[in-house]
Amino acid sequence: MTTRIPLNFGWEFTSSFDESFLAGKGSFDPVDLPHCGVATPFHYFSEEIYQMRAGYRRTIPVPEALAGKRLLLTVGGAAQRVTVWVNGEKAAVHACGYTALTVELTPFVTPGRDLLLVLEVDSRENLDQPPFGYVVDYLTYAGLYREVTLEVREESFLADVFVMPALPEDVALPENAAMEDAAGTRFTGRVTCRVTCDGNKGTLLRQRVLDQETVIVEGEFAPGKETSLSVPEAKLWDPLSPALYTLETELWDGNTLLDRNRTRFGFRRAVFQKDGFFLNGRRFLLRGLNRHQSWPYVGYAMPASQQRLDADILKMELGVNAVRTSHYPQSHAFIDRCDELGLLVFTEIPGWQHIGGAEWQAQAVRNTEDMVRQYRNHPSIILWGVRINESEDDDALYEKTNAAARREDPTRATGGVRKHKKGAFQEDVYTYNDFSHDGKAPGCEPKKAVTPDMNRAYLISEFNGHMFPTKSWDDEAHRLEHALRHARVLNSVAAAGDIAGCFGWCAFDYNTHKDFGAGDHICYHGVADMFRNSKLAGAVYASQGSEKPVLAISSAMNIGDHPEGITGTVYAFTNADEVRFYKNDTLIRTFTRADSPFHALPHGPIAIHDLIGDQLKEEGFAPRQERYVKSLLNYTALHGFKNLPFKILFRAAWLMLRYRMTFDDAYALFGKYCGNWGTAGLRYRFEAVRDGKAVKCVTVEPLAEPHLTVTPDRTDLSEGETFEVVSLRARVTDKNGNTLPYYNGEAEVTVSGPLVPYGNRRCLIRGGTGGVYLRTTGQTGPVQVTLSLPDADAVQVDLTVR
């Protein structure tokens, strides 16, 4: 039987690897995995600081009892090339920073003698391997940034189990399926499986399908052939209700059990067609974001807790139904959580625009094979990206990567991200970065303008991004335009009818190279900041997908934040049916879906375009006069007095001629109903209303003093295969809970109890949002964390490490 031994604690680390380190000499910094080779500042640093040949060293006792066993080491992820040395001998080299390496240590080991394991990790960006060779818009970091495991195996063992679950053709959810439809669907599922054994022994495979821990069906098979089990009363894996099963496979030799493997899977049918993406029989519009796997300070080096949290944030806070793991395969902990949540994944081989020489290309093909083999049991993955992101056509290379993906996984479609139209098309899906929306142009290009083949599927893999970088502290008009651009693209894609979906660039801001970003080595392209705090644009996504009530208002109603004091139209981002708008507790107007210019979206942003409502009634105007005065006042309140459109000018003239109204009249009315200058205690309230009930409320009023709120992602921590990290997200708000976008500061963090800062000791706050990370230390007990700012009440968070 296989024993899995996590090897994450107690490594020795050097940032300058040399022969003496290899020989086991000297003492070096103790570190745990995941580990970032060098902690990075928040911003204003260069990738030069992590160019290194680092070394990780560990002694592993190999008792006599292990004679006859086989030892396999798996390195989950090392940035960017890892060489494995065992007792001074080179055992393997892995030239990919984003796939796992499994290497057999057995030939290098003598039972009864300790084994000296050294992992040399090279992070220099001149390596001849993807993604290197030219510029790259993301940092590639350093270190052994994912977990390492040792497996002690029998002489013969289960090397790989590839599960291909299938459902009958006639199982189909209705359009607009609800959770009950998905959860209630039952069918006879079929599990076909390719089992690869290593070693000479093994006469029988025994397999069983488990629902939780209940065995549903079992069967026996001869090794070497595809196995097949039929699962009665099977449940669907669907974003609405992602049922997961376990396939247990055993390798027997006569009456001896040699190995047992457990693989999680789900029954779903994911098909890309010319008219879109179909999941479990119904058309399913992919509404996703691109995710980089980096965090402030620690780069890629986050343990499972934070990897999983990102999936939760994407699905539950940002409301997306899909994620693209740009531009490389990401942690299994992240994808496992996508499986559990029903979050669909488009994953791809590492790379960025550049295609290198023969060795480089051979590695890209190997990366495709490794990616597919290592990730193909995840039900959440629906598409393999087999081209280097945004590279030129290269028929020979992409024939190979497509063939590799199809050979290793005949069940899934291939795609590959391009920045060019009508290119060579060896994949099943034409995936294209459509950056055509510039604020004025339509949200996206029509399918026929981009793909060379209308009979195959078309997907937009990126949009926005560099077209409109947006910081949390940009002015209000900028933050609103950022959100509206995302809404316009989502709306155009939904309206198109023949596009499989789109992935916005991107989920989270990220550190990057000098050629990109705002000059401080950050790309502010996220709909959330680097600490995963949502910007306004995040509410565009949240309001499409979330079940929880969402209401975000685009304006703090301060004219001074806008050139010439012109606020423009205010928008409500909500999934409610309507929004009630109050001024000092007087209901001005109820805005409905009819007030959203985004007709193709179920929950398009609603325009709050009327600040007056029925208030003019008290003036005793004639009906038309009232209508015209109202439109004039509303227009000027939102868009200013200059460049009035013809309609408004005509109405003004008409009011003057017909009703003898003067400019002074208009000015006085403006002051009374719109200006509000000098008005004491002016307060606006927006209520999101669902089924007639107010479910969420935003109150905006002039308030000065800041309030700090701190949200830990969990309050109970426990170490498992490695240390655990808790993120504390901080927000500085007014007393009504509205983020103060121009608040910058640094909260002091004091910790009493067994947690220590991970990355940075202070909680940086930019644009009213920020965060800090703490990690476990091996000790247990209660923890009190206090965050304090000079001008706000301190906040205490109570946590427990078990």
**Least Å from the CB of residue 516 to ligand GAL:** 6
**Least Å from the CB of residue 393 to ligand GAL:** 16
**Least Å from the CB of residue 459 to ligand GAL:** 14
- Nearer residue to ligand GAL within complex by CB, 259 or 434: 434
Residues 728-767 that bind ligand GAL (CB under 6 A): none
Contact with ligand GAL (CB under 6 A) among 58, 201, 406, 466: 466
Other CB atoms closer than 10 Å to residue 595's CB: what's the count? 19
Per-residue tokens: 649: 């000018």
Q: Which parts of 119-201 fold into alpha helices (H)? A: 179-184
Place of tokens 């680097």: 530
Binding segment (CB under 6 A) for ligand GAL, from list 5-13, 437-445, 460-468, 627-635: 460-468
Binding segment (CB under 6 A) for ligand GAL, from list 32-40, 260-268, 461-469, 576-584: 461-469
Strands 344-348 and 322-325: parallel
Q: Is 578 a residue of the active site?
A: no
Contact with ligand GAL (CB under 6 A) among 389, 391, 546, 575: 389
- Nearer residue to ligand GAL within complex by CB, 348 or 578: 348
Buried b (16+ CB within 10 A) or exposed e, 735-773: eeebbbbebebbbebebebbbeebbbeebbbbbbbbbbb
Strands 457-462 and 429-433: parallel
**3-state class of 430 per DSSP?**
strand
**Least Å from the CB of residue 461 to ligand GAL:** 8
Per-residue tokens: 388: 């280097």
Residues 309-338 that bind ligand GAL (CB under 6 A): 326
Binding segment (CB under 6 A) for ligand GAL, from list 261-269, 446-454, 459-467, 597-605: 459-467
Per-residue tokens: 690: 């669902």
**3-state class of 773 per DSSP?**
strand
Classify burial at 780, counting beta carbons within 10 Å of its beta carbon; exposed 0-12, middle 13-18, buried 19 or more.
middle
Residues 394-453 that bind ligand GAL (CB under 6 A): 419, 433
Q: By CB under 6 A, how many residues form the interface with ligand GAL? A: 11
Query: Cα–Cα distance between 506 and 516 in angstroms, integer?
Result: 14
Selected catalytic residue, list 348, 390, 445, 724: 390
Helix 332-341 × helix 358-375 angle, to 10°: 40
Residue 533 interacts with ligand GAL (CB under 6 A): yes or no: no
Strands 586-592 and 578-583: antiparallel
**Least Å from the CB of residue 416 to ligand GAL:** 12
**Least Å from the CB of residue 317 to ligand GAL:** 22
**Least Å from the CB of residue 327 to ligand GAL:** 6
Buried b (16+ CB within 10 A) or exposed e, 66-81: beebbbbbbbbbbbbb
- Nearer residue to ligand GAL within complex by CB, 11 or 352: 352
Question: Quick one: how far is CA 342 from the chain centroid?
Answer: 13
- Nearer residue to ligand GAL within complex by CB, 154 or 462: 462
Contact with ligand GAL (CB under 6 A) among 12, 122, 137, 687: 137
Is residue 201 within 8 Å of residue 258, measured between CB atoms?
yes
Which among 189, 516, 476 has a CA at the least distance from the CA of 352? 516
Contact with ligand GAL (CB under 6 A) among 42, 162, 277, 505: 505
- Nearer residue to ligand GAL within complex by CB, 462 or 595: 462
Residue 775 interacts with ligand GAL (CB under 6 A): yes or no: no
Place of tokens 């209508």: 627
Q: Is 175 a residue of the active site?
A: no
Selected catalytic residue, list 120, 250, 445, 462: 462
**Least Å from the CB of residue 395 to ligand GAL:** 21
Classify burial at 456, counting beta carbons within 10 Å of its beta carbon; exposed 0-12, middle 13-18, buried 19 or more.
middle
Question: Catalytic residue positions?
Answer: 390, 462
Residues that bind ligand GAL (CB under 6 A): 137, 326, 389-390, 419, 433, 462, 465-466, 505, 525
